[in-house]
Amino acid sequence: MPPMPANAPTRFCLIRHGETDWNGEKRLQGRIDIDLNATGAAQALAVRPGLAGHGFAAAYSSDLRRAWHTAQVAGAGLGLAVAAEPALRERHFGVLQGTTADEAAVQYPEAHHHHLARTPDYDYESGESLIVFAARVLAGLEVLAARHAGREVLVFTHGGVLDVVYRAATGLPLHAPRDFLLPNAAFNWLEHRAGGWRLISWADCRHLERALDEVPD
């Protein structure tokens, strides 16, 4: 296949990992390496048919287990080796990692306040600020876009990464409250070309609904 022009748009399918027990507990995971639960593994399997028929040039995943496990299950049969990409890791939430909102409010009230306020330059004492995190994510994805210009790229990652890309595509500031969904194992399609991101479709969960419909009573 002839090489694409360097300015050709790259189309991304970004998928958040399947559910974990900590998702169910609303416990902040960040860089803590939690694996999928049974529901998450079933979600990863439900993703697989929806990927068939796409001509993905490459597949990448965060190297944290919840994303990597999702990638291995969902991507089976595509004929692509999934490459680990550290730039796709979740944000490091410092002292708040492993806490629920109620626990954080009591144990780390200042950090909890900044978390709720989405203070862009706050780093949770030992983690990543929103500014640093967003720069890391977007720089990593821009490298992939340039590497696969004009192609389709499959990415398995985390809610925080998707939050950053959605905002880059829509112009919603980092500090603004989130007004969009980040479902586990949903399809999110975006296009990158020189000059920025364009949102194609977001939070498509139809494949998960079909999988549930196929479960016998």
Quote the distance between the C-alpha of residue 47 and its chain's center. Answer: 14
Q: H or E segment at 55?
A: none
Sign of CA dihedral 142, 120, 99, 186: negative
Task: Determine contact, residues 174/1, Cβ cutoff 8 Å.
Answer: no
Q: What are phi and psi of 187, to 5 degrees?
A: -90, 130
The catalytic residue positions are: 17, 90
CB proximity list for 217: less than 8 A, separation 6 or greater: none
